[in-house]
Structure 1
Amino acid sequence: MLDAQRLAALAVAQVLAGRNLNQVLQKELARHPQLTPQQRAMLQDLSYGTLRHYGTLQAVLGALLQKPLQDESIRALLLVALYQLAYTHTQSHAVVDHAVRVTVQALRKTSAKGLVNAILRNFLRRREALLADAAAAGEEARHGHPQWWIDKLRSQYPQQWEEILACGNQHPPMALRVNRRLGNAQAYLDQLSQVGIVGRALAQSGILLEQPVAVDRLPGFSAGQVSVQDGGAQLAASLLDVADGMRVLDACSAPGGKTAHLLELADLDLTALDHDSKRLQKVEQNLRRLGFKAECLVGDAAEPQKWWNGKPFQRILADVPCSASGVVRRHPDIKWLRRESDIAQFAAQQAAILDALWRCLEQGGKLLYVTCSVFAEENSRQVAAFLQRHGDAELLPLPGRAEQDLQLLPDQEHDGFYYALLAKL
């Protein structure tokens, strides 16, 4: 546990300084190949869990400190240790002992040894009262999100805002998408049962697992029989309404889950575009595992003049960059890295991408606009503004649904997504 606690504290400190958690963890795991699978899993849990409950933990730590703590490395270590004491079943004496050892041996801050020991032991004596006081101290501590985020959700979802916030603090579900070309959900559920994995069917070819598992435990994963994809994300391919032979653009394709799903549904002339060459490599890896081919291009969806050959597409999937507010339980660092001003910046970027891609769509073609956000500025308001700018655009009913657009809110089955299907007249 010592290495996991130390590295988790380092990761949390870097995130609070403005870095992306996934990138930080990838770097640390690469630097420490000696970590066992159990240590790696613990590092992930401690890092994600501390940030998931950061609002409460910082309130608790503030109540335990007699004066503000200036040393960010010690602060991060205390937050991780408090997470362990408050939210895990780890033996409390081991958590405290390891935190003191990290302070002295890894951080080399012997002068802070007494402070770390005293703070953690004080928490153990007053645990219930401190957590109750934190919940009463303010909404950030009670709901585990920044105040501006809470206020925006309360304004836009007056009936559901508390449920959305609570969901954002939970562990995410694990869903699978069965490759229709190689089987169906019921047959794959039987395979899972044979290896002791419990799941149930979702709509179409989806499966929701009772408990997350490592992909190497999934039968036929390396052979392309199944992919890991959130249940909400699995709607995209069918909503785009593709058919064999169509010329299709997946405009922001990485990491490639929706790209592959489109190719599972139909034989397409598909172009997968992404601005990040490294992320585009993940698309290519996914396609190879599943046995599909697509033209993979590095390019900015907002600047088609740099990559487009001028031949219009019949279908465009525009899964645009966004706040990712609908998938925050998978990326808890987002809550603390985002600023309210970022939403307007994302909205401007989304508008630029939509306007640019519209030029690439043939008359009579369809564009599916997608975000993993729950904020209206990026979703329904974005589409409404687009329709005002483009007289040749029409909002279509979504295939198989009564709605003209769909705002999925995160729940026990799927993350938060937004879908709108636009036709070019």
Structure 2
Amino acid sequence: MKHALLAKCALLIAPILKGQGSLSQTLEPMLSNLDPSERGLAHQLILGTFRQGPRLERIAQQLLDKPLKEKDKDVYALILLGLYQLDFMRTADHAAINNTVDATLSLKKSWAKALVNGVLRNYQRDQAKIFETLDNDICFHSAFPGWLAKRVKKFWPEQKEAVYQASNSQPAVTLRVNPLKSSIEEYADQLTQTGIEFQRSDQTGFITLNQAVDITQLPGFDDGTFSVQDSAAQFASQLIELESNQRVLDACCAPGGKTCAMLEAEPELASMVAIDLEADRLKRVEQNLSRLNLSAELIAGDVSQTESWWDGQPFDRILLDAPCSATGVVRRHPDIKYLRRPEDINALADTQLQLLLALWPLLKKGGTLLYATCSILPTENEQVIDRFLKQSNDATSVPLQLPIGFAQEHGWQFLPEQHSETTAGHDGFYYAKLVKD
């Protein structure tokens, strides 16, 4: 491993440790500037270090005499990268240490060479003692920030260990087969003929790949035969129960996976309006629609300010994939552990309620609004629905029944599940189905 690559990884990680920027903004540009032979390794190092970050930080705190200065957060990131290599990668210990130490030179911080070397070698020597010291530390045990680990423990006491483990694992790729192009059975046969290893979930029937592949090289990518979409998210297009000639609104639509899934499920809609706050994010929606040869009316605007974009014609169906903490997709976006704050949750719940209240008047009598989040916190899920129902006399929550996940008082919750030889795995997700009386 080149020490210069480690330095580049540390420079990307450091700002996010300070709460600045995100992987969605910085990771792809950084990877695109690397030699193709280095991209996979850099991706593994960066995401792995964030997945295990709170745990690695607890270890680092045991090894450092005092915290490093903010301006030296890159050195601190380098130490976390070194600890990650020693604990979670197959790199020989001596190579991991030497390369991490040499990376201080690429950072132009030669003074840190002795510090990084000492920390990593002391970890090698004192690992058992450090683990014993941290035995009851929830951050070390869960690799979650303390506030979030405690909420998982509070809300899901029986499932907490599985939630931690699944959230810290690498997600597999699940495919959504376009029913306008193929059936799941037919596409499974195509994959078999191509030699691609996959699972067909006994519960959902969805296809999950067993190995990392270049998605663009799979059969049918160019003609839109499939898209990548997690199992939990795939139920949206089923639960909303579309019919021909309906007017449908996809609120907070980017990146467009559910927009496309609904258009695939019912190609004879009267109209599909897809709205998102940021025009830049709508470019991704446009790209997905184009690849799948689908069309929708795209609007950049504030969903809650309906007077600025609604034409006054009510909708038969509304999907509100509400902005949320994203605590159900930490395995895909592990920097959430650093970007989310405990005070964010109640603020997000208030925003979610405001969006529901703003969109409800746009729904026809007898119409359906499907509320969705990728959160595992009831504060954003069934508690929001409960608050909404208490303020809306003409709304009824419809009981749901799905092959995975479990019922809540209002709606249906998925907790993250790890991919294995026997399970396809899925993200944490929540749905509630509301009908207008």
Per the alignment, residue 329 of structure 1 pairs with: 331
Q: Once the two structures are superposed, what CA deviation does each residue of 1:368-419 show, in whole Å capped at 9, x if it has no partner?
A: 0000001011100100110010101111133778956111111132111111
Give the match's secondary structure for 1:243.
Answer: coil
Pairing of 1:62-141 with structure 2 (within 5 A):
62-70=61-69, 71-104=72-105, 106-130=106-130, 132-133=131-132, 135-136=134-135, 138-141=137-140
| 2:181 is aligned with 1:178 | no
Q: Distance in 2 between matches of 1:118 and 1:204?
A: 50
Q: Which of these residues, 357, 367, 370, is aligned with residue 368 of structure 1?
A: 370
Aligned-pair identity (%)? 42
Per the alignment, residue 159 of structure 2 pairs with: 160
Task: Assess if the C-alpha contact under 8 Å between 1:250 and 1:270 holds in 2.
Answer: yes
Per the alignment, residue 416 of structure 1 pairs with: 428
Per the alignment, residue 421 of structure 2 pairs with: none
Per the alignment, residue 10 of structure 1 pairs with: 11
Q: Distance in 1 between matches of 2:182 and 2:129?
A: 54
Task: Assess if the C-alpha contact under 8 Å between 2:232 and 2:414 holds in 1.
Answer: yes
Please give the TM-score of this superposition, normalised by the length of structure 1.
Answer: 0.94
Q: Once the two structures are superposed, what CA deviation does each residue of 1:184-217 show, in whole Å capped at 9, x if it has no partner?
A: 1122122212232111224666211122322123
Per the alignment, residue 233 of structure 2 pairs with: 233
Task: Assess if the C-alpha contact under 8 Å between 1:321 and 1:346 holds in 2.
Answer: yes
CA shift for structure 1 position 124: 2.8
Q: Which amino acid aligns with 1:79?
A: L
Q: Distance in 1 between matches of 2:402 and 2:25?
A: 38
Q: Which amino acid aligns with 1:211?
A: Q
Per the alignment, residue 380 of structure 2 pairs with: 378
Deviates most, 112-121 or 297-306:
112-121
4+ residue stretches of structure 1 with deviation over 6 A? 399-402
Q: Which amino acid aligns with 1:421?
A: K
Pairing of 1:172-321 with structure 2 (within 5 A):
172-202=171-201, 206-266=206-266, 267-268=268-269, 269-321=271-323
Deviates most, 191-200 or 296-305:
191-200
Pairing of 1:138-153 with structure 2 (within 5 A):
138-153=137-152
Q: Distance in 2 between matches of 1:92 and 1:146?
A: 27
Q: Which amino acid aligns with 2:9?
A: A
Per the alignment, residue 27 of structure 2 pairs with: 25
Deviates most, 232-241 or 396-405:
396-405
Q: Distance in 2 between matches of 1:368 and 1:97?
A: 53
Give the match's secondary structure for 1:223.
Answer: coil
CA shift for structure 1 position 95: 2.0
Task: Assess if the C-alpha contact under 8 Å between 2:63 and 2:119 holds in 1.
Answer: yes
Task: Assess if the C-alpha contact under 8 Å between 2:55 and 2:144 holds in 1.
Answer: no
Q: Which amino acid aligns with 1:407?
A: Q
How many residues get paired?
Answer: 420
CA shift for structure 1 position 134: 6.0
Give the match's secondary structure for 2:135.
Answer: helix
Task: Assess if the C-alpha contact under 8 Å between 1:321 and 1:371 holds in 2.
Answer: yes
Structure 2: segments with no counterpart, 5+ residues: 419-424
Per the alignment, residue 407 of structure 1 pairs with: 413
Task: Assess if the C-alpha contact under 8 Å between 1:178 and 1:226 holds in 2.
Answer: yes
Q: Distance in 1 between matches of 2:251 and 2:59?
A: 44
Please give the TM-score of this superposition, normalised by the length of structure 2.
Answer: 0.92
CA shift for structure 1 position 421: 0.6
Task: Assess if the C-alpha contact under 8 Å between 2:174 and 2:206 holds in 1.
Answer: yes
CA shift for structure 1 position 254: 0.6
Task: Assess if the C-alpha contact under 8 Å between 1:363 and 1:424 holds in 2.
Answer: yes
Give the match's secondary structure for 1:414.
Answer: coil
Against the structure 1 CA distance between its residues 144 and 150, is the aligned structure 2 distance closer, same or farther, given a 3 Å change threshold? same
Deviates most, 402-411 or 248-257:
402-411
Give RMSD over aligned pairs: 1.8
Task: Assess if the C-alpha contact under 8 Å between 1:177 and 1:205 holds in 2.
Answer: no
Task: Assess if the C-alpha contact under 8 Å between 1:251 and 1:318 holds in 2.
Answer: yes
Deviates most, 285-294 or 93-102:
93-102
Q: Which amino acid aligns with 1:222?
A: D
Q: Once the two structures are superposed, what CA deviation does each residue of 1:316-350 show, in whole Å capped at 9, x if it has no partner?
A: 00000000011111111111221111001100110
CA shift for structure 1 position 150: 1.7
Against the structure 1 CA distance between its residues 128 and 320, is the aligned structure 2 distance closer, same or farther, given a 3 Å change threshold? same
Task: Assess if the C-alpha contact under 8 Å between 2:31 and 2:43 holds in 1.
Answer: no
CA shift for structure 1 position 126: 3.5
Q: Distance in 2 between matches of 1:111 and 1:411?
A: 44
